[in-house]
Chains A and B, each alone.
Chain A
Amino acid sequence: MEKIFSARDPSALNTETLEINFGPQHPSTHGVFRMNIVCDGETVVSLKPVMGYLHRNHEQIAENMSYAASMPYTDRLDYFNSMSNNFGYSLAVEKLANIEVPERAQYIRVIMAELTRLVNHVSVIGFLLNDLGAFFTPVLYAFREREKILDIFEEVSGARMMCNYFRFGGVKYEIQPHILQRIKEIVKKFPKFLEEFEALLSKNEILCMRCQNVGVLPKELAVSASITGPMLRASGVDYDIRKVDKYSIYGRFKFRIPLGEKGDVYDRYYVRILEMHESLKILDQALKDIPATGELVSKKMAPFLKSPRNFKPPVGEAYGRVEAPKGELGFYVVSDGTPQPWRYHVRAPSFINLTILEDMCLGHKIADVIVILGSVDIVLGEVDH
């Protein structure tokens, strides 16, 4: 009798924490990502992310080849949004070599970057629902829309995901009027899909219970950990590089920046939905204003398309950054006057956003860790560049 009594009193029990190795081969880690989780019962006491399983020396490879040749490698960073990766890299090199981009190419770039944002956000919400246990129904609704946009990417650039479409001083291929017409149709139909998607998810009690007040990221912590992108905005910090930097021609468009209040998983989900609405606004304006004709690559850079080895930017350094769907994607390039960059560095948003994972997960149950990781929106190609 006395034995049962003591078992009911936890202090008398001989308990110990349990260390769990989560990943790298686990479907909900979105790739080859590993976490060492220490659990007390089901509650997370400590969490150590282990990265580097997909490390492939991206920076060193880029330092050993011509500037243009590392453009296809940037596709493979965040393989969901190759267009915005191209955008960041070409902005950095254009800054370095002081290249002007023609008007029509600027518009095409913005259209492609915003389509990429739609692709990314729609599929990341689908994957988040996968992590919550809504297995593959929302993600396939999302992929239905994603497929239409990927078809456009294929028709424009030649590949669905590894687009390799941007060139220094412009873009590679002409975009025909019938493709622009199809993009217009997609932009027209997308709000209807978003409405349905939102009706499916936003007020769903199960989603609310699993997501609200889970993985809260306070404003101060987010800023001090240099979190960017939808995660930062979900915590209520008004910071979007499209507005702050006004790179390319983003200064011309009217759009707003959605902000979250609490910074929990639900806010991160909802900020992404709202951001898609804003992207559609930008696309609408860009498709209206795009000049019908014009050159695709600036005159200064056109000869280097055929001979990338002859392109030698002046000695100096430049940092080009874009608001990629996952956060601030920056490329730091140092030139020593040779055809190869002397130093090439990538500021990968998902890598830096991942550093805060432990602080968000502490005190939550182990099932919530998966949801929080899903809301961070990582792509391992970028984390382990």
Chain B
Amino acid sequence: MIFGSGVLRSMLITLKNFFTSYFKGPEEGGIFTVEYPETRLPEKERFRNFPFLVYDRNPENLRCVACDICAKECPPKCIYIVREFDKEGRPLKRPAVFDIDFTVCMNCGICEEACPFDAIYMDHEFEIAGPERQSRLLYHKDDLLKSNEYFHKIRPTDATAIDQQRREAEEKKKAAAEAAAKAKQPD
């Protein structure tokens, strides 16, 4: 082989790639990048970035019961929960403070897995740039609350399955309560 033919061949390949990148689709070796803010790639359903809290119907009715399991399981310990108390000092089944630090969270999705009440799920939000760290990236309860409809919108498959599970569990509970009430009633 003549010395230099390898280099020439390589250059022909780069030339070929230069032309295919303009005239062919991304599957055949064309340009696979998009101009981001104008065009966006479709989001994958399982894409996970930062957790949010689910509520049913209205924000008062959130599923979280402040059990603190997610805060304990969180690997970088970025969740901070304080339980709410009523006027007599009895603990209520809802959080008074629910903070997640975006700068610490590593988007692993363990909180979602560990939650026994289907209350916390991973979001699709990724455009989180802000002018300041403390005000923008420390998420409080109000920033985290999102409706079940939103959950259905971003992750339809998971949300439907979970709704189904919850409905079944509720029906079971109802049936058990009815059975218990019936057993109590003296005939």
CB distance from B12 to the nearest CB of A (A): 9
Asked if A4 is at the interface of the complex by the 8 Å CB criterion, the answer is no
Closest to B18 in A: A137
Cross-interface CB contact of A205 among B7, B29, B110, B116, cutoff 8 Å? B7
Chain B residues contacting A65 (CB-CB under 8 Å) are 75
B13 near A70: Cβ-Cβ < 8 Å: no
CB distance from A135 to the nearest CB of B (A): 12
Among the listed stretches A24-32, A157-165, A220-228, A233-241, which one makes contact with chain B, having 4 or more residues with CB under 8 Å of it? Answer: A157-165
Chain A residues contacting B107 (CB-CB under 8 Å) are 159, 162
Asked if B171 is at the interface of the complex by the 8 Å CB criterion, the answer is no
**Interface 1/0 per residue, A153-186 and B, CB below 8 Å:** 0111111001010000000110000000000000
Which residues of A are at the interface with B, using a C-beta cutoff of 8 A?
65-66, 68-73, 75-76, 137, 141, 144, 147, 154-159, 162, 164, 172-173, 196, 199-201, 203-206, 208, 305-309
A329 to B17, CA, bound (A): 37
A68 near B44: Cβ-Cβ < 8 Å: no
A306 near B10: Cβ-Cβ < 8 Å: no
Chain A residues contacting B17 (CB-CB under 8 Å) are 141
Asked if B114 is at the interface of the complex by the 8 Å CB criterion, the answer is yes
A154-B44 contact in complex given A69-B73, A69-B75, A69-B110, C-beta closer than 8 Å: yes
Q: Which chain B residues in 7-46 approach chain A with CB under 8 Å?
A: 7, 9-10, 13-14, 17, 29, 32, 44-46
B6 near A203: Cβ-Cβ < 8 Å: yes
What are 11 contact pairs spanning A and B, CB under 8 A? Answer: A69-B74, A76-B106, A155-B44, A158-B46, A158-B109, A196-B13, A200-B9, A200-B10, A203-B9, A206-B7, A308-B110
Closest to B16 in A: A196
A68 to B47, CA, bound (A): 20
Chain B residues contacting A68 (CB-CB under 8 Å) are 110
B32 near A306: Cβ-Cβ < 8 Å: no
Interface size on B, residues (CB 8 A): 31
Apart from A203-B1, A306-B113, list 4 A-B contacts with CB within 8 A. Answer: A71-B108, A72-B106, A159-B107, A208-B6
Closest to A157 in B: B46
B75 near A309: Cβ-Cβ < 8 Å: no
Chain B residues contacting A155 (CB-CB under 8 Å) are 44-46
CB distance from A340 to the nearest CB of B (A): 12
Chain A residues contacting B130 (CB-CB under 8 Å) are none
Asked if B140 is at the interface of the complex by the 8 Å CB criterion, the answer is no
Asked if B131 is at the interface of the complex by the 8 Å CB criterion, the answer is no
Asked if B122 is at the interface of the complex by the 8 Å CB criterion, the answer is yes
Chain B residues contacting A156 (CB-CB under 8 Å) are 46
Chain B residues contacting A157 (CB-CB under 8 Å) are 46
A254 to B46, CA, bound (A): 33
Chain A residues contacting B32 (CB-CB under 8 Å) are 144, 147
A158 near B7: Cβ-Cβ < 8 Å: no
A309-B106 contact in complex given A137-B14, A158-B46, A200-B13, C-beta closer than 8 Å: no
A164 near B108: Cβ-Cβ < 8 Å: yes
Closest to B30 in A: A144
Chain B residues contacting A154 (CB-CB under 8 Å) are 44, 46-47
CB distance from A57 to the nearest CB of B (A): 12
A158-B114 contact in complex given A144-B32, A200-B13, A203-B6, C-beta closer than 8 Å: no
A144 near B13: Cβ-Cβ < 8 Å: no
Asked if B167 is at the interface of the complex by the 8 Å CB criterion, the answer is no
CB distance from A38 to the nearest CB of B (A): 35
A160 to B14, CA, bound (A): 28
A205 near B4: Cβ-Cβ < 8 Å: yes
Asked if B48 is at the interface of the complex by the 8 Å CB criterion, the answer is yes
A204 to B11, CA, bound (A): 10
A158 near B4: Cβ-Cβ < 8 Å: no
B44 near A158: Cβ-Cβ < 8 Å: yes
Closest to A66 in B: B73
A144 to B17, CA, bound (A): 12
A69 to B122, CA, bound (A): 17
A338 to B75, CA, bound (A): 17
A164 near B109: Cβ-Cβ < 8 Å: yes
CB distance from A297 to the nearest CB of B (A): 11
**Interface 1/0 per residue, B96-109 and A, CB below 8 Å:** 00000000001111
A293 to B161, CA, bound (A): 19
A200 to B29, CA, bound (A): 15
